[in-house]
Amino acid sequence: METLYKELKQYFDVDEFSVQKASLAFLRVPKSQLVSLLTHMKDIRGYTHLVMVTCVDYLEQDSFLLTYLLHNYSTHCDLGIQVSISRQNPVMDGIHHLWEQGRVYQRELFEMFGIDFPGSPDVHEPMILEGWQGPPPMRRDFDTKAYSEATYSHRPRDHKEPEEYMKQQLYPED
Amino acid sequence: MSDIEIKDNPDIKSELQTPPEPGYSEWRKDENTLYNDGLPEEEKDWFCDARPQKARKSVQVIENFLNWARSQSLWILAFGTGCGAIELRPLVTSRYDISRLGMQPRPTPRQANLIMIGGYVSIKTLKRIVRSYEQMQGPKFVVAVCSCAINGGMYWDSYNTVKRIDEYIPVDVYVTGCMPRPEAVLAGFNKLKELIKAGKAEGQNLYIERFDWYKENQKKVIKDWNMPDYNW
């Protein structure tokens, strides 16, 4: 994987390379070079399988970290390509022209994190959250407990201490 | 040729030019019709808008016999929303074999009279549950399995899971556990049979009696209500 990183370094501004194990590594790429790097990996390096696209919300650094995980079937290696985008303007280039299934991930990312992918098919259609009107729920500044308490009615709890309760049940005369 | 004839025929022409009827929702409002506000105006004609009526009871002796017969043929619509749906497989197969109780799983709501909610209920699922429940033939019963259906369980602070299923459809029997063993589900079914025989499993009538309350609760959480108010 280190040789791959050195070769990629000649063409792209990749950095923060980290090897997790012999067959898994991650690297960081600027937002503008992501699609060209993915095209390079798919067409030339043999990373033909898009395993997943996922997102982490770094609220403190005011950024989303997108991870595109690719798999190479001939070497059985995984490469995670990470790109950090601004939290204030979460717009990203789509990869549905490279992998058709990418549009499902992009729909999910729009629904859960509010990251827009202009041009991606059906990206603004509801997928899981039908009729959702609140903010994107997987963002860390969304308070799911407060939303739940405001939206749904909770069953009042009939709380019994298990130890006391079982004592009364089993040995009522004590 | 035929087009020309229609255009030249004054009768047909006048029929085509009659003004459209007044809006459906304007002339069909009384206490026994539903508004079906969620449907677009052109689709309102496609669906029945009658309000469901409570089942009439006959003489007590006959009703007892009917209740006994009902309790002996419970056909299950297994709505496997969560992990509790796994427990239906051992129930149906030879070890627990619910066929001996006169129960069997059915594929569609139209053939079933017992809906089994098997776990947590998200908003998207609740819409389908309401639709399936209303499409079932009466008398119909509801068994909710797993703690998630009772009070939300481990999804107690989830943004998309309803906490109490009994605010949206009437539940006859709850089975606690996460997940309950097949024996527990079987005990729940036996309890339901006792309730039916005693004439206490009146969930369907309760649903019709408090229809507006249930609809209000359902529409409060299902924001994109695009189906008729009662799915006949």
**How far is residue A69 CA from its own chain's centroid?**
10
| Chosen from A152, A155, A159 to mutate, greatest number of chain B CBs within 10 A | A152
CA atoms within 13 A on the CB side of A33: 16
- ipTM score of the complex? 0.81
How far is B23 from chain A, CA to nearest CA, in Å? 26
Contact B163 A155 (CB under 8 A): yes
pLDDT score, position B63 = 93
Within chain A, which residues score under 70 in pLDDT? Answer: none
Of B68 and B80, the one with more pLDDT? B68
Tally of helices (H runs) and strands (E runs) in chain B: 10, 5
User: Looking at beta carbons, which residues of chain B come within 8 Å of A154?
Assistant: 151-152, 156, 163-164
User: Where are the domains positioned within chain B?
Assistant: 2-44, 60-221
The per-residue pLDDT for range B168-225, each reduced to its tens digit, is 999 999 999 888 999 999 999 999 999 999 999 989 999 999 998 999 999 999 998 9
Residue in chain A closest to B218 (alpha carbons) equals A152
pLDDT score, position B13 = 46
Of B26 and B75, the one with more pLDDT? B75
How far is B26 from chain A, CA to nearest CA, in Å? 27
Q: Of B13-22, B53-62, B156-165, which gets the smallest average pLDDT?
A: B13-22
Contact A12, A37 (CB under 8 A): yes
Instruction: Tell me the two tokens of residue B13.
Output: 């022409």
Show the domains of chain A with their CATH numbers: 2-152 (3.30.460.80)
DSSP secondary structure of chain A: -HHHHHHHHHHS--EEEEEEETTEEEEE--GGGHHHHHHHHHHTS---EEEEEEEEEETTTTEEEEEEEEEETTTTEEEEEEEEEESSS-B----TTT-TTHHHHHHHHHHHH--B-TT-TTTTS-SSSTT--SS-TTSTTS-HHHHHHHHSPPPPP----HHHHHHHHH-TT-
3-state SS record for B17-41: CCCCCCCHHHHCCCCCECCCCCCCH
CATH number assigned to the domain covering B60-221: 3.40.50.12280
Full-model pTM = 0.83
Task: Give phi and psi for B145, each to the nearest 5.
Answer: -110, 145
A155 contact B CB<8A = yes
| Chosen from B121, B160, B164, B213 to mutate, greatest number of chain A CBs within 10 A | B160
